[in-house]
Amino acid sequence: MNRAVPAITAALALALTGCGGDNPEPAAAPATSSPAPAVDFTRTACSRVSTVSDLEGPAELDGNVGVPVAESAQLATNPAVAEAGRVLEGAYQPQPGDTTHDFALRVQRAWLGLAEACGNLYGDGPW
């Protein structure tokens, strides 16, 4: 019985390692590709709010600055940030009878709305 155990163990080891001669080299492990990291649009939009608020002058009034931030915010998974992004993008649309003051006030209120949504989510900035 004692001689049977090593013989069985050796036979199992040969069977498990594939020493049959058909495949002299072990098969390569299949290549695994890790998925690309998901973009966190909520955090991205909130980070951009902090960046824009640090710029000199009224950068938030520039549609070339604000609209990309609004578009990013609209892709956010947080509903409040996404809605604030929609409001911000809409604030850049001209309204009949708008004065410069009306436009500036509407855009700045929209920025504040986005900042408030980010603050409610992440606490005090910068985010």
Tell me the pLDDT tens digit for each residue of 34-88: 565 577 889 888 998 888 877 666 777 888 888 999 999 999 999 999 999 999 9
Helix pair 41-53, 63-74: axis angle to 10 deg: 160
- The first and second tokens of residue 36, run together, are 């690309």
Distance CA 93, CA 83 (A): 16
The model's confidence at residue 12, banded by pLDDT at 50, 70 and 90, is very low
Quick one: pLDDT at residue 109? 93
20 versus 39: the higher-pLDDT residue is 39
Q: Provide the whole-model pTM.
A: 0.66
